[in-house]
Structure 1
């Protein structure tokens, strides 16, 4: 019989946590799509002079990388409400089928939630900062596209707390 510390939680996540985990992928999407538009050569709200900074190959690669990595990190939140976030899938060589320890997941996700909350805390005041290299319409649209990022950290924190409660509750009742 496996020890309680290695038994994955059999309790399903609450519906709100599943919705919140999926929402994290959606709050990252608008800004990522905007950066991809920039990388593909659309000025996306910049003036001609401002857009010139995004024409180099390095800038385009950075924009694409940032967009993809951001979305992949947001997708990791789904692991907090899916079975693969508790037990590694069997198809993974050497480690497949092993239970993922709760504490490292909670610490990593919790630190990520704090970092994201701090990183995007000033976004609600986007329009109070000068953006000389953007058109007025571009400034408005980009501000709107970045506003959902304010929710990323708090959503991740809520889902992490749910994961922690579910996993530790299972361990104490086993």
Structure 2
């Protein structure tokens, strides 16, 4: 290989390495805690429904359980709804999951950034959808509340508390989404700085070798 080929190879090698090697930018702790908060906020209402589906009355009026066909087809509805809600809540971890731990090292940074952006867009859509759904439930709580029209006792307040926690779900999810998108921007900027530094370094090597050939 001639000197021109070697110089070109030395110029391209570091650029190839920085292109293929992912740039690591740790996710801030507060973003991780927000993702956990979103998941935890959805759990109380899930547990409440599962207890009802398992045959526990939880102090609910017999007339309400009969109208909801619990136990019966209504119990299956509660199980399916709880499973869907649990799956949706677990999606918050996609915002903070370190995918680099499970993928080859040669996966480029752009792929991780694109994945984070997609997760962020999905997180925004999910937070907005949850805000609408939970907001409608709050407005029509008298129609959702199993204890509607009854004197509130400890069971009624427990039910209210379980569903009240879901109000924090979209709030935590929205915060985690913002953190995820900010991390994606930081990762892209860090990758760009590293790429530019490698480009300057490689260009310097190429210029030095060209100058040496000229002097000879």
**Alignment TM class, shorter chain as reference:** 0.7 to 0.9
Q: Who is 2:102 aligned against?
A: 89
Which consecutive aligned stretches of 4+ in structure 1 deviate over 4 angstroms post-superposition?
6-9, 122-127, 130-133
Q: Is the 8 A contact 2:128 2:170 kept in 1?
A: yes
| Structure 2 residue corresponding to 1:141, chosen from 140, 149, 158 | 158
Alignment CA distance shift 1:145-1:120 (3 Å): same
2-structure distance, mates of 1:124, 1:66? 18
Aligned length: 164
Alignment of 1:1-174 (within 5 A): 1=16, 10-52=24-66, 53-55=68-70, 57-84=72-99, 87=100, 89-90=102-103, 99=112, 101-121=115-135, 129=142, 134=147, 135=150, 136-137=152-153, 138-174=155-191
Higher helix share: 2
- CA gap 1:113/1:166 in 2 versus in 1, 3 angstroms: same
Maintained 8 Å contact 1:45/1:141: no
Which residue does 2:202 correspond to in 1?
A: none
Distance (whole Å) between structure 2 residues aligned to residue 90 and residue 170 of structure 1: 17
Structure 1 SS opposite 2:40: helix
Aligned-pair CA distance for 1:78: 1.5
- What 5-or-longer segments of structure 1 have no aligned partner? 92-97
Query: Retained in 1: the 8 A contact 2:42–2:169?
Result: yes
The higher-RCO structure (CA 8 Å, 6+ apart) is 2
Q: What is the TM-score of this pair, normalised by structure 1?
A: 0.78
Give 1:139 shift. Answer: 3.0
Per the normalisation by structure 2, the TM-score is 0.65
CA contact (8 A) 1:54 1:60 kept: yes
Contact 1:17 1:162 in 2 (8 A): yes
Tell me how far apart the structure 2 counterparts of residues 32 and 167 of structure 1 sit (CA, whole Å): 32
In the alignment, is the contact (CA less than 8 A) between 2:23 and 2:190 conserved in 1?
Answer: no
Query: Over alpha carbons, which structure has the higher Rg?
Result: 2
